[in-house]
Structure 1
Amino acid sequence: MHLGFLTPEYPHPRVLSSAGIGTSIGNMTDALAAEGVTVSIFVYGQKEDAVFTENGIKFHLIRQRKFRLAGWFLYRKFLQNYLNNFIVVDKIEAIEAPDWTGITAFMKLRCPLVIRMNGSDAYFCKLEGRPQKKKNFWFEKEALKDADRLLSVSEFTAKQTAEIFKLKKNISVIPNSVDTEYFNPYSKDIVPDTLLYFGSLIRKKGVLELAQIFNIVVEQKPEVKLLLLGKDVNDIFENKSTLELFQQKLSPEAKGQVQHIPGVAYERIREYIASAAVVVLPSFAEALPMTWLEAMAMEKALVTSNIGWAKEVMIYGETGYTEDPTNHFAYAEKILRLLQAPERAQQMGKAAREQVVKKFSTEVIVQRNNKFYKGVVGK
């Protein structure tokens, strides 16, 4: 079986960027290749054209093209022709693409097309309560309508997406996976009274709520420190640095207890997770967050949001706590509860890893992906 994956991101030094979608695709394709599946990765929107093979996976870096008119259409047609060429030459039996921006809208491919829902622009606009450009909605709707099969990383995302686009098609659900051998509870001293947030500093991740939550934590426990690990993003509502808006909400006492590290190599993220006493991830908008799975795999007790997908990942009071991030006092109370009882946090961390190993480990999820694609190719 030969599968192709069309994506704007992937965790590779030659690729411009990678976030949660890239990480999840990387985990999946590595695991599929190890199972004997032939894999080709097509990364569009890049600064160069290149084709190379590493660890049995064939990579296509596809440079962003510029067109005088209708670039949104002509670049899609360019990608269509590029993919169709290699579908024939390399005998690719199915192509997977993300729902984000509806990149496959208006494409006619020579093999089945699967769209995996990691969260479309329309999905995130709904969760964040902001308007979406009509053009973007159109692209995403057309792409989903024309796909041969639909996949979602969570039941919540599947349901919301079906409602948004009025989809009548069946949507299969296979969650993201995490490499539990790489993200493991390796020995590293925990720094007492340290909180870790990791991911982009952006409103939809609950960062601005976290500032007010941290003010309450510091009132009760002045020695607590918060590390923000991730790049600053310009706020879509106020057109200002999210970090700047975050700092404006901090009390004078809390300001001195916060450290921001903007850029960290992927390999070093584990070190920061390992040394944290509690991981705080109060996100408002996710499909199925990789950050949660990575921290849980490292036996960290989490305090997360309690929205939609949370129930598919977390077990309240067992793997950590879920809480409404806008309820600042309740959220802070859950953090303090874990800081004041390290034994409880450790116990929850162990339960968190057990949950991930059982439901979200690469070994488990690769079998589900393999079975799904055999069904696609068989048809």
Structure 2
Amino acid sequence: MKICFLTPEYPHHSTRSSGGIGTSIYNLAKGLIALGHQVTVIVFAQYEEATFEENGVTIYKLKNVSFKGLSFYLTQLKIAKLINKLYSEHKIDIVEAPDWTGCTAFVNVKCQVVLRLNGSDTYFCHLDQRPVKRKNRFFEKRALKRADGIISVSKFTGDLTNEVFGIKRDFEVIPNAIDTSQFEGSSNLSNEQTILYFGTLIRKKGSLELPLIFNEVYKKNNQAKLVLVGRDASDIITNNKSVWQMMQPLFDKEAFKNVTYLGSVPYSEIKNLINNASVCVFPTFAEALPVSWLEAMAMQKPIVACNIGWATEVIEDGKEGFLVHPKDHELYATKIETLLQDKTLQLTFGKAAKDKVLQKFSIEVVAKQSLAFYSNYISK
């Protein structure tokens, strides 16, 4: 089978910055290639155009068309032209694209197009309780209605997507995946009592709740340390250019002495930081199915995460970690402190987390599920 991914992001040193969508495509591509299939990735919105192959993946970098008022539409015509060329040359059989900003709204191609729901702009605006841009909602709804098939990374995301757009599209739940061989945990029980958060510092991921949660942890345990890893972002509500600047005054003076912000670090260093942590925390308000949770779980780390929507599809409360609403700062802190003080519970949760990732979220499992889905549409 020859699968083509259309995406605005893909992790490579020559492409623009990449986030969760790019990582999930990278992981899935690796799994598909390992099963003997061909993968092509078309990355639009790039600074320059190029075609090359890396790790068995053929990558096409495309620049967007710049024309006032018509850039989006003309770029999609350009994308469609390339896809139809590759399809006519028997280099691809099917195209998968994300739902974000409706990047296939006007892509008319000869092959079948599948959308994978990782959370559209409309979806995240709904969870954030803020208005969505009309054009984004229009493009995303059009793309959803025109798609031949739909995959959702969680049932919650699929159901909520139908609800916010007022549509009733059938979808199949196939989660995001990670390469478990790259995240081998050593069951390292750190004596540092380190709490790790890794991800963008942004309101929707609960970054502004973290200081208030850690203040409560510090009151119980002044040996606890909080390590923050990830790029700083602007705040969409206040227009402040730095969420990290907004976070700092929220920490109690003494608690702040035990806080370390490392900023963005190379992806290869994340594994060491996870391995040296006692607990990983993700007090997020808006996700679809976060890869960061899976990475921590694969390294046998207990997690204290949010209890919203998708969370129960990843973690069973009290088995692989604890689920608490991010606004319940005192209870959240209590769960963290419970894990910091109970090494046996850390091991128990960590082992259960690793087992779940192997059974449900490995690239081998998810690649096979995706191939079965694609085959239904290629036959059409």
Q: TM-score, normalised by structure 1?
A: 0.98
Structure 1 residue runs without a partner (length 5+): none
Match of 2:149 in 1: 149
Instruction: Please state whether the residue corresponding to 2:280 is helix, strand or coil.
Output: strand
2:187–2:347 contact (8 Å) kept in structure 1: no
Q: How far, CA to CA, are the matches of 2:149 and 2:363 in structure 1?
A: 22
Residue pairs, 1:27-42, within 5 angstroms? 27-42=27-42
Q: Secondary structure of the equivalent of 2:45?
A: strand
1:37 CA displacement: 1.1
Residue in 2 aligned with 1:168? 168
Partner of 1:268: 269
Shift of 1:83: 1.9
From the superposition, tell whether residues 312 and 180 of structure 1 become closer, same or farther in structure 2 (CA, over 3 Å). same
Is the 1:191–1:276 Cα contact (8 Å) retained in structure 2?
no
Output the CA distance in 1 between the equivalents of 2:80 and 2:191: 51
For structure 1, which segment, 254-263 or 145-154, has the greater mean C-alpha deviation from structure 2 after superposition? 254-263
Aligned position for 2:282: 281
Q: Structure 1 residues 75-84 or 40-49, which shifts more?
A: 75-84
Q: Alpha-carbon deviations, 1:222-243, whole Å to 9, x = none?
A: 1211010000000001111110
Aligned partner of 1:174: which letter? Answer: I
Aligned equivalent of 2:87: 87
Alignment size in residue pairs: 379
| Alpha-carbon displacement from aligned partner over 1:134-178 (angstroms, at most 9, x marks no partner) | 111000000001111011000000000011112222111100111
For residues 223 and 208 of structure 2, the distance between their equivalents in structure 1, rounded to whole angstroms, comes to: 21
Q: Distance in 1 between matches of 2:69 and 2:20?
A: 32
Question: Aligned to 1:4, what secondary structure does the other structure show?
Answer: strand
Q: How does 1:247-262 map to 2 (within 5 A)?
A: 247-262=248-263
1:123 maps to what in 2?
123
In structure 2, the partner of 1:312 is 313
CA deviations 1:43-84 (Å, max 9, x no partner) are: 111111111112322110112331133212112222222222
Matched, 1:212 2:208: no
Q: Equivalents in 1 of 2:284, 2:377: separation in Å?
A: 34
Q: What residue is the counterpart of 1:355 in the other structure?
A: 356
Distance of 1:203 and 1:124 partners within structure 2 = 12
Q: Relative to structure 2, which stretch is displaced further, 89-98 or 346-355?
A: 89-98
User: Which shows bigger deviation, 183-192 or 76-85?
Assistant: 183-192
Provide the C-alpha distance between the structure 2 equivalents of 1:83 and 1:67, rounded to a whole number of angstroms. Answer: 21
> How far apart are the structure 2 equivalents of 1:64 and 1:259?
39
Counterparts of 2:173 and 2:187, CA distance in 1: 35
Letter in 1 for 2:269: R
- Tell me by how many angstroms 1:188 deviates: 5.4
Deviation by residue 1:191-230 (Cα, 9 ceiling, x = unmatched):
4211000000000001111110001111111121101000
Q: Which residue of 2 aligns with 1:238?
A: 238
- 1:191, 1:275 within 8 Å by CA — same for their partners in 2? no
- Provide the secondary structure at the position in 2 that maps to 1:137: helix
1:18 corresponds in structure 2 to: 18
The residue type paired with residue 303 of structure 1 is V
Q: Structure 1 residue 342: deviation in Å?
A: 1.6
Contact 2:187 2:350 survives alignment (8 Å): no
Q: Secondary structure at the match of 1:309?
A: helix
Q: In the alignment, what sits opposite 1:136?
A: 136
Moved more, 228-237 or 175-184: 175-184
Matched AA of 1:295: A
Report the counterpart of residue 345 of structure 1 in structure 2. Answer: 346
In structure 1, what is the equivalent of residue 370 of structure 2? 369
Greater CA drift, 181-190 or 297-306: 181-190
Supply the distance in 1 between the matched residues of 2:298 and 2:343 (Cα, whole angstroms).
18
Q: Output the amino acid matched with 2:354.
A: R
Deviation at 1:89, TM superposition (A): 2.1
For residues 91 and 178 of structure 2, the distance between their equivalents in structure 1, rounded to whole angstroms, comes to 29
Is there any run of 5+ residues in structure 2 with no aligned partner, and where? none
SS in 1 for 2:309: coil
| 2:209 alignment partner, SS class | helix
- Contact kept in structure 1, 2:215 and 2:255, CA below 8 Å: yes
Q: Give, as a single letter, the amino acid of the residue that structure 2 aligns with 1:185.
A: G
Tell whether the 8 Å contact from 2:187 to 2:299 is kept in structure 1 after alignment: no
Deviation of 1:91 (Å)? 3.6
Q: C-alpha offsets along residues 300-349 of structure 1, whole Å, 9 cap, x if unaligned? A: 00000000111101011110100001011110100010011122112111
| Counterpart in the other structure of 2:45 | 45
Aligned to 1:54: 54
CA distance, structure 2, for counterparts of residue 80 and residue 370 of structure 1 = 23
8 Å contact from structure 1 (residues 307, 324) kept in 2: yes
> What residue is the counterpart of 1:203 in the other structure?
203
Give secondary structure in 2 for the equivalent of 1:53. Answer: strand
CA drift of 1:21 comes to 1.1
Matched-pair contact (CA < 8 Å) for 2:189–2:278: no
In structure 2, what residue type is equivalent to 1:142? R
User: Could you tell me how far apart the structure 2 residues matched to 1:191 and 1:90 are?
Assistant: 56
